[in-house]
Chain A
Amino acid sequence: MLIGRFTERPYQDPSSGYFGATGRSIQDLSISNGEYNPQLGSELYNRYLDEQVSAEEAGFDAIMLNEHHSTPFCMGGTVNTEAAILARITDKVKIVINGNVLPIWDDPLWLAEELATIDMISKGRLVTGWVRGTGRESIAHNAPPPFNWERFQEAHDFIIKAWTTPGPFRWEGEHYDFRYVNPWMRPYQNPHPQIMIPGVVSKNTVKWAAEHRYPYLMLATRLEPTKASFDYYREVAHESGYEAGPQHLGYLFKVHVDETEELAYETGKKFLDGPGNIFLEGSRGTASPVLQNLPGLTDRKNLLPTGEIGFVAASRGRSAADVARENSSNESGSRNVRAAQTQATLADYDTQLENYTIISGTPKTVIPKIRHVLETLRPGTIFFWDGDGAMTHDDSMRSLRLMGSDVIPAVKEMAKELDLPGSFEIDTKTNEPYDPTPAIADVAGGGA
C-alpha cells in the first residue's frame, strides 16, 4: 500500500472574516486578491513545505499536492513550483501532484518540461496526476469549458508522446499545434512518471482512467458512492480485458490524530473552519453553481454515484438549470425542496464523524476506523487529508508525530493482512510485480 499525506494549503488569514467561520461567506471566485498578504503567504508556503518534509520523516510513502486557482482554500496555483522544491528537500517520498489541470494549459509542452525536470531533480519520485479542473480553473485561466474534455485527452496524448518519442516531431492536433517538439529534458523514470487520475464526479474520467489502466483516486467522497464508483472502474477494466485490483484504486480521506480524544474532537472540527474547500461537506464556503456548471464543462448525463450526493451535485455536477430553478423558486418562496435537501446534506460535524467523512481521534480510535475504510473500499493507495481548514502548525505536527509512531505502522500491517498492494507494488499496466528501478540506461538510448 502507498500511504500519503495531503493538505490543500489553505490561505489562513486570521485577520480576515472568513477565518474560523466567523460568518463571512466565501463565495467561489468572489474574494479580491487585494486583501492577499504576501508576508502571510510567504510564512504559509514555507510552513506547508516544512510540514511535508515532516511527513516524510514521519514515515509517509508519499506527499500529495494539488492545484487550484484564484481561491483561498488552496495555495497551489503553481503546484509545480512547490513540487520542484520538495523534489530537492526530500529524499524518499513520492511527490504526487494530484493534479495538474491539463485543459487550462495552452502550452502543454511547457508542462511536460516542468514535470520532467521535477522527476529528474527528485531522482524519479514524481507521480503525476492530471485533472480536468472545476469551473474555477477554466475561468481563472480562461480555458474554453466546452473543449475541456477534448483538451484534457489531447494534452495527455501529447505529453506522453513528448516524453516517450525521441524528437524532434511535429504535433498538429485538434487543439494544440507544435512545429518542433524536442524538449531538452526527459523524465527520469522510464518510460515516464506514474500517472494517477483523481476525480469526484465525471464518469467519463473513470472510464478513461480504467481504459488507460491508470490508478484512479477518489477525492474525499462518501464511502458508499465511492465503492460504487470503484465498481464502475472494475467493470470498465473487465470490459477492457483485465481485472482491476487495489493497485488501480486510491482514496483520499480526512484523518487527524491527536493526543487525547478531547483534543482530537476539537481539532478535527477545524477541518470545517477557515477557508476550507467549498466542495466539502460542512464547508463554510459556498460554491458558485454558475461557475461549476460552465457551458459544456461536465456532461450531466455522465455523473458518478458520488455526483448524486447532494452537496457535490448542487455545487459541482448538476446542471446550472437545476440550480437556477432552485434559486428562482427560493425567491418566490416556493419549490425550495431541493434547497432543503442540499441543506440536509451539509452534515454537521458529529454526523461527519459518524459517517467517516472525517476521522479524528487518538490512534486507538482512528486505526479501527481506517480499517473499516480499507475493508469497505479496498484501495491500494490512500492519502490522509490533514492539517487543513483552520488547523495550526502545532495541530499538524501533533498529528504527524502520532501518524508516524502509531498509525502508519499499523496501517501498513493492515494492508498486508488485507492484501492491498499499491501501484508501486503491482504494476497497473501489467498486474505483475512492479519494477522499482528506473531503466536509466534505456532512457539514454532514446535520443540515439
Chain B
Amino acid sequence: MFLKEIIVAMKTSTEPASRIVNVAGLDINIREAGEGKPLVILHRSTGYFEWDNFTNKLAESFHVIYPDLPGFGNSERPDWAREARDLSIIMAELLKVLDIKDVTLVGLGLGGFIAAELATMNQERLSNLILISAAGIKPETGEILDQMLIDHTEYVRQGFTEASHFVDLFGDAVHPDILDIWEFSRIMTARISWSPYMFNRRLPPLLNIITVPTLVIFGNNDTVIPYTVGQQFIDNLSNGQLEIIDGGGHLVEWEMPDKICALIVKHSH
C-alpha cells in the first residue's frame, strides 16, 4: 500500500533525507531538514508531494519534520482508523517517539483538523499551534468543497486563486505520478473523513482546552473551506489569533510561501 516507487521517481535534488520511524506499531515516514526549534507539518488531504518553496523557507528557521500521515505516502495505513482523531493520536505519539519538545505544530487543511484534534488531547510537547485553511469545523455559512464528487485535478485547481499558479506548478497536464498520489491519498481521506466530511462535531466543544498560542490563517478567497471557519476556530479556542490573508486561496502556503512563513516565524519565536 505504499507509493515508494512514485515517491522515489519524483524526488528531486532538493528533497531532504527521509527515514522510517515506528510509531504505535506503524511505519511512519518522515522527512527532516533545517536546524533549530522543531516544527512539524501535517499535510493536506492530497498528501505530500514535494519539498517546495514553503518547506524550504521554513527550513531556514526551523528543524522541519514533515511526516506522511498514517495511510498516506510512504506511511503505513492503520486499517482500523476511522476518523481524523485516530491519526491525531498517532501523530501525538510521533512527537513522543522523536522526543521533541517545544514544537511548532503546523496543520494544513486536513492536517489542520488533525493538528487541532491532537492539541485537544495532548499539548505538552507543543509551544504553539498554527492552523492553515484548516478543516475540522462544520462551516456556519457555506459548505466545504467535496473532493469526492469532483476530479482530483479540479479539486486541486480550486485551491488556487489564479489558474496560472496551478499551471506553473503542474503544467498543462498534471503528471500521472502526481495524479496517482492524489488518488492514493483520497483513499485514506475517505477512510477517515467520508462522513461527516472534513469535520467533527465533537471538536469545537473541546478546542477551549488548547492553551498554547494558536494562529489560525485563512485566505479570504478560499473556495474549498469558507474562510469564516477561521472565526469559528477563534470563537472556540482559548488562546487563538486570526490572520485573514487578503486575496489568499485555500492553498495559501503554495501561492504565498514567503508571507505564510513570515507569519509562522513571528508566531513561533
Chain B residues with CB under 8 A of A327: 151, 153
- Contact status B179-A295, CB under 8 Å: no
**B residues in contact with A291, CB < 8 Å:** 149
Q: B37 at interface (Cβ–Cβ under 8 A)?
A: no
Q: Which of A294, A325, A328 contacts B172 (CB under 8 A)? A: A328
When the two chains form their complex, are residues B187 and A146 in contact, meaning their CB atoms are under 8 A apart? Answer: yes
**A146 and B150 form a contact (CB under 8 A):** no
Residue of B nearest to A330 (CB): B173
**Inside 8 A of A289's CB, which chain B residues have their CB?**
151
* Number of chain A residues close to chain B: CB under 8 A: 25
With beta carbons under 8 angstroms apart, the residue of A139, A147, A331, A332 that contacts B148 is A139
Q: In chain A, residues 255-311, which have Cβ atoms closer than 8 Å to a Cβ of chain B?
A: 289-291, 293-296
A65 interface residue per 8 A CB criterion: no
Name the CB-closest residue of B to A145: B190
Residues A290 and B150 in contact in the complex (CB < 8 Å), given A144-B191, A319-B183: yes
Report the Cα distance A321→B194, complex, angstroms: 20
> CB distance A144 to B194 under 8 Å?
yes
B144-186 residues at the A interface, CB under 8 angstroms:
148-153, 172-174, 176, 179-180, 182-183, 186
Q: Contact check, B173 vs A295: say whether CB atoms are below 8 A apart.
A: no
Query: Given A324-B153, A328-B153, are A295 and B187 also a contact pair (CB < 8 Å)?
Result: yes
**B195: interface (CB < 8 Å):** yes
Question: Quick one: closest A residue to B190, CB to CB?
Answer: A295
In the complex, what residues of B have CB within 8 A of residue A334's CB?
Answer: 173
Interface: B189 (CB within 8 A): yes
Complex contacts, B190 vs chain A, CB 8 Å = 144-146, 294-296
Inter-subunit contact A295/B151 (CB<8 Å): no
Cβ-closest chain B residue relative to A320: B183
A328 and B173 within 8 A (CB) = yes
Please measure, in the bound complex, the distance between the C-alpha atom of A320 and the C-alpha atom of B174, giving whole angstroms: 13
- Nearest-neighbour CB distance to chain A for B183, whole angstroms, equals 5
Find out whether the CB atom of A328 lies under 8 angstroms from the CB atom of B174: yes
Knowing A321-B180, A324-B174, the reply to whether A294 touches B148 (Cβ < 8 A) is yes
- Chain A residues within 8 Å of B174, by CB: 324-325, 328
Query: How many residues on the B side are at the interface (Cβ–Cβ under 8 A)?
Result: 21
How far in angstroms is the closest Cβ of chain A from B192?
9
B149 x A325 contact (CB < 8 A): no
A182 in the interface, Cβ–Cβ < 8 Å? no
Measured between beta carbons, the chain A residues less than 8 angstroms from B186 are: 295
When the two chains form the complex, which single residue of B149, B182, B194 contacts A145, counting CB atoms closer than 8 Å? B194
Is A329 in contact with chain B by the CB < 8 A criterion?
Answer: yes
Q: Which of A139, A296, A324, A335 contacts B187 (CB 8 A)?
A: A296
Contacts of B150 in A (CB 8 A): 290
Asked if A142 is at the interface (CB within 8 A of a chain B CB), the reply is yes
**Is the pair B173, A329 in contact by a Cβ cutoff of 8 Å?**
yes
**Across the two chains, which residue of chain A brings its CB closest to B174?**
A328
B195/A144 in contact, CB under 8 A: yes
What chain B residues lie within 8 Å of A320 (beta carbons)? 151-152, 183
Instruction: Give B178-217 as 1s and 0s: 1 = Cβ < 8 Å from A's Cβ atoms.
Output: 0110110011011100110000000000000000000000
Distance in angstroms between the alpha carbons of A291 and B194 in the assembled complex? 14
B189 contacts A295, C-beta separation under 8 Å: yes
Give every chain A residue within 8 A of B182 (Cβ-Cβ): 321
Give a binary string over A307-343; 1 marks a CB under 8 Å from any B CB, 0 the rest.
0000000000001110011011101101100000000
Task: List chain A residues, Cβ under 8 A from B152.
Answer: 320-321, 324
* Residues A192-242 near B (CB distance < 8 A): none
| Contact between A332 and B173, CB atoms less than 8 A apart | yes
Whether A335 contacts B173 by the Cβ 8 Å rule is yes
How far is A291 from B153 in the complex, measured between Cα atoms in Å? 14
Q: Are B179 and A325 in contact (CB under 8 A)?
A: yes
Decide yes or no: A321 and B183 within 8 Å by CB, A144-B190, A294-B190, A328-B172 being known contacts.
Answer: yes
Once the chains bind, are B191 and A296 in contact (CB under 8 Å)? yes
Provide the bound-state CA to CA distance between A321 and B172, in Å.
15
Minimum CB distance partner of B181 in chain A: A321
CB neighbours (8 Å) of A335 from chain B are: 173
Contact in complex: B149, A295 (CB < 8 Å): no
Alpha-carbon distance A146/B187, docked complex (angstroms): 7
Q: State A327–B179 Cα separation when bound (angstroms).
A: 12
Which chain B residues numbered 7 to 66 have a C-beta less than 8 Å away from chain A? none
What B residues does A328 contact at CB under 8 A? 153, 172-174
B183 contacts across to A, CB distance below 8 A: 293, 295, 319-321
Within 8 A of B (CB), among A363-391: none
Minimum CB–CB distance for B77 against chain A, Å: 10
Docked complex Cα distance between A324 and B154 (Å): 9
Tell me which of A142, A294, A320, A321 has the highest count of chain B C-beta atoms within 10 A of its own C-beta.
A321
A334 CA / B180 CA spacing, docked (Å): 20
| A-chain residues with CB within 8 Å of residue B187 when the two chains form the complex | 146, 295-296
CB distance from A136 to the nearest CB of B (A): 11
Q: Complex Cα distance A296/B183, Å?
A: 9
**Within residues 125 to 154 of chain A, which ones have a CB less than 8 A from any CB in chain B?**
139, 142, 144-147
5 new A-B pairs (CB below 8 Å) besides A290-B150, A325-B176?
A: A142-B194, A145-B190, A295-B191, A321-B176, A335-B173
Could you list 21 examples of A-B contacts with CB < 8 Å?
A: A139-B149, A144-B191, A146-B190, A146-B191, A289-B151, A290-B151, A294-B148, A295-B183, A295-B190, A295-B191, A296-B191, A320-B152, A320-B183, A321-B176, A321-B180, A324-B151, A325-B173, A325-B176, A328-B153, A328-B172, A328-B173
Chain B residues packing against A (C-beta within 8 Å):
148-153, 172-174, 176, 179-180, 182-183, 186-187, 189-191, 194-195
Q: Which residues of A pack against B, CB within 8 Å?
A: 139, 142, 144-147, 289-291, 293-296, 319-321, 324-325, 327-329, 331-332, 334-335
